[in-house]
Amino acid sequence: MAGCAACAGEVQLEDTFCARCGAPVTDPFVGTVVGERYRIVSRIGIGGMGAVYRAEHTMMRRDLAIKVLLPELGGKEEFARRFEREAESASRLDHPNIITVTDFGHTADGSLFLVMEFLAGESLTRAISHGPMPPTRALAIIRQVLRALDHAHAAGVVHRDLKPDNIMLVERDGQPDVVKILDFGIAKVTEPLSGKGKPGEALTQAGVIFGTPEYLSPEQALGEPVDPRADIYAAGVILYEMLAGRRPFESEDKVKIISMHLAHAPPRVRDVNPAIDLPVPLEQAVLQALEKSREHRFATAAAFLQALEDAETPPPVGANAALGLGATALDLPPGAELPAGVAAPMRPSGSTARRLAAALVVVVAVFGTVKVVKRKARHVVALVTPAPRPAPAAPDLAQRLSKIEDWLEQGNNAAARRALEQAMDERPKDGRIRYMLGRVAYADDRHAEALGHYRDAITLDAGFRGDPVLLAHLDAMLSESKQADAALDLVVEHVGAPAADLLEKVANEGNDLARRRRAAAALEEMGEGKRVDRVSIGILELRKAATCDERKAWVETLVDLGDPKALPALRALRGRRIGPLAFGGSDTSCMRTELPDAIKTLEKKAGITEAPPRGRRRR
């Protein structure tokens, strides 16, 4: 908070004129010397945490940039620690594509400041605003980003808020588009990958979301602990945006964007930007970076970088004719074309290439053209269609399965398992055999194994998505602490609409906020958002909020929802008072008037009126 030079009224640094007297607002830092050697020349801009200034070293006559923590945030420990964390992150990093931080200290009035190299250029956001980039330019930029991330991750630093606003493009020695990554203010500093060094203290708590919704990884959206693969997801979004001219998930509603990150498959780049001639391996590399499950993304920035390099490497001459000797694509007979909207298979090699080639020849021979090509990448999508009936078993298999059913009912699980394993050797792609193996595993209390068999059964025959026994087993496993997450994975990723009742139960019950968020997001994507008890989730969000500002946001949301059942949770924030003593409650210092007003609003909706003041007793 600054003071107006004309009337001494309170003004914000970002104000142009004083609201009280109309006088121009001057920045008190401009013209001063910070840290005894940095003269502030002008203000460049103001962000959420600090103001950035152009400065000059008084002795070296060198242009620098100085970020100063906003005065009104200096007294808040969380922001001060985050500012210090940016300095700590910078002390670990020395890379040509990461902005150089040279000094850290306090101004004369005690405000924290960082000294950085001065960058003259444009943000990647502005560069993207001109429209889709040619793939050569986009790849040149993302390669530098990935090299910088690889360096940061090796030093134990995860950015967590990577986005075009935090990437500057500058010119160096006549070379345009030199990348500089900025703003490690919410970075997660951990033990370096080498194992050396002291682990940093975590600044965030489980269940608290940090980052920008448009570039948020699914695990960040769920409030889960993050690792370098969160940055890889953000890099995938950025590369997609450079190539397509827009992000994979866009909406005016930030909550909707987060829901898309959790349960929506990104559209193909060429569907968004038909004018781009994008090689299939390159598009598949982008989509792998955007996998919902971090386990299916590139493990490191270096692996992502290598995939991009491989995507640009031309295939050996005559490789396609060799059918499997390093081919990047499979030759098709005359007239056989991949239909619009169907992705070609990822680059095969060795025996995989030979199997794909043989399969393609069979498809073309029977149908005369290629109708379907499935990509192996697993994208978490909302399965909104009802399940068909499973394919009937072949007559000879049906007799064997009937006998296995009898053994299972009699509790002779060992005999049932032996018969099924023998049948699976004979028919490895039969979904019904996998399904029965899942039932046997469940009966043996081997629930993790059962989930694996059920997943395989659905993959081979989508009709098992709606099987009542399978759904009953999933319902039970969703209540088990050890299997709940894996069971929810199966429901969201493979079952979908037939399990809407199970998702409704998870979304509206229990204290596991991450699971409830994910189930609610899946229902939203199915068009079943009306099943979600938003008030119940809002109450849980309120109880788990870590700061007063977060609680205030959820109080406002609950008032907007207008359901009086939120009243006990709002009242609980105040605690109980007995005379001068207070019991329980939470920090509500940021909503001294808003909380009472919220309670009154919901009490009015509930028909609760204030009791009239009691009169004095007569003696």
List the catalytic residues: 161
What is the C-alpha separation between 547 and 60, in angstroms, rounded? 43
3-state secondary structure of 66: strand
Give CA separation, 10 vs 4, 52, 74, in Å: 6, 21, 17
What is the C-alpha separation between 127 and 176, in angstroms, rounded? 12
| Residue recorded with tokens 């500089």 | 180
What is the C-alpha separation between 232 and 149, in angstroms, rounded? 8
What is the C-alpha separation between 593 and 600, in angstroms, rounded? 11
8 A C-beta contact, residue 495 and residue 383? yes
What do you get for the CA distance between the two ends of the chain, in Å? 55
Q: What angle do CA 99, 105, 109 make, to 5 degrees?
A: 130
Which residues on neighbouring strands pair with residue 178, listed in sequence order? 170
3-state secondary structure of 485: helix
Q: Calculate the CA 8 to chain-centre distance.
A: 45
Residue 498, amino acid? P
Dmax (CA) of the chain: 110
Give CA separation, 521 vs 247, 270, 298, 550, in Å: 19, 27, 25, 21
Helix/strand/coil percentages in the chain, nearest 5: 50, 10, 40
| Residue recorded with tokens 């491989």 | 310
What is the C-alpha separation between 606 and 608, in angstroms, rounded? 6
Pair of tokens at residue 585:
């409650």
